[in-house]
Amino acid sequence: MKALLILAHGSRKKESNDEVVKLAESLDRTENSGFGKVLCAFNQFSEPSAERQIDILAGLGATHITILPYFIAGGSHVTEDIPRLADEARQNHPGIDFKVTAHLGAFEGVKDLIMREVGV
Amino acid sequence: MKALLILAHGSRKKESNDEVVKLAESLDRTENSGFGKVLCAFNQFSEPSAERQIDILAGLGATHITILPYFIAGGSHVTEDIPRLADEARQNHPGIDFKVTAHLGAFEGVKDLIMREVGV
């Protein structure tokens, strides 16, 4: 089973984290996404942690976990913390194939998304 | 002239801010975007400020300025700081029509963007 983990910075504001939770739930409900399960996790200020969610996905039988750094730009969380977290996850779950994608802000489609949503 | 201001949180890391600068430059070069000028600004940790960029857009003859909060989720910058900044801009530039869009993470198309870029 292929799983997706949306990993966000996390905020002290619950409503802010709830936006990420809702996105993950919406993706999880999406038919034909190719992912058997979509969860989210937070680096800071909020639970659940990536480690906990990866354990849950492993328990659900995930064989591939794609980690999406849900960040605007590539600060130290993206360049250091998340790759380290993925390395630790590989050691803890040797039977699972982990992949870390580009962070959201680096996605090719961001420019088109902006033009579609705010274009005049 | 219609202008777009991409307003990001800003980071202490220059490379992180440079990603936003490059996005704004790319959008600025986009033909038929409907925007005569696209600039970016940062709330914290980096120049230029939104106030300075709005002054520049006013100097370029902007009649409409769309402010895009380039944020993943709606924390206090999105819910408080940016609306206040827009109100101040309206007072300082009464001849310009200011509009604040939803923040990036609230765009309808984010889910599809993720599915396209990380879908399996």
For the stretch B53-67, pLDDT in tens is 999 999 999 999 999
- pLDDT for the residue B120: 67
User: Which of residues 29 through 68 in chain A touch B, CB cutoff 8 A?
Assistant: 30, 33-35, 64, 66, 68
For the stretch B104-119, pLDDT in tens is 999 999 999 999 999 8
Contact B57, B49 (CB under 8 A): no
Give the helix ranges, DSSP H, for chain A.
14-29, 50-59, 76, 82-92, 110-118
Using the Cβ of A27 and the Cβ atoms of chain B, whether some distance falls under 8 Å is answered with: yes
Question: Exposed, middle or buried by CB within 10 Å (0-12, 13-18, 19+), for A66?
Answer: buried
At A86, is the secondary structure helix, strand, or coil?
Answer: helix
For the stretch A36-45, pLDDT in tens is 999 999 988 7
Using the Cβ of B20 and the Cβ atoms of chain A, whether some distance falls under 8 Å is answered with: yes
Question: Which is more confident, A111 or B47?
Answer: A111
Contact B74, B105 (CB under 8 A): yes
Cα B62–chain centre separation: 15
Q: Which of A6, A105, A119 sits opposite B19 (nearest CB)?
A: A105
Domain of residue A108, residue span: 2-118
Q: Do B71 and A76 touch (CB under 8 A)?
A: no
Please enumerate in sequence order all residues whose Cβ is within 8 A of that of A13, keeping only pairs 6 or more positions apart, or say none. Answer: B75, B76
Contact A13, A36 (CB under 8 A): no
- pLDDT for the residue B13: 85
**Chain B nearest CA to A16, separation (Å):** 5
Q: For residues A87-97, give the mean pLDDT.
A: 97
pLDDT < 70: residue spans in chain B: 120
Q: Which of A66, A75, A114 sits opposite B118 (nearest CB)?
A: A66
pLDDT above 70: residue A84:
yes
- For chain B, give the mean pLDDT: 94
Contact B36, A68 (CB under 8 A): no
- CATH number of the domain encompassing residue B22: 3.40.50.1400
- pLDDT for the residue A45: 76
- pLDDT for the residue A120: 67
- For chain A, give the mean pLDDT: 94
Q: How many domains does chain A have?
A: 1
Q: Do B119 and A33 touch (CB under 8 A)?
A: yes
DSSP for B39-94, written as a single string: EEEESSSSSPPHHHHHHHHHHTT-SEEEEEEE-SS--HIIIIIHHHHHHHHHHH-T
Q: Do B33 and A68 touch (CB under 8 A)?
A: no
Using the Cβ of B74 and the Cβ atoms of chain A, whether some distance falls under 8 Å is answered with: yes
Contact A40, A19 (CB under 8 A): no
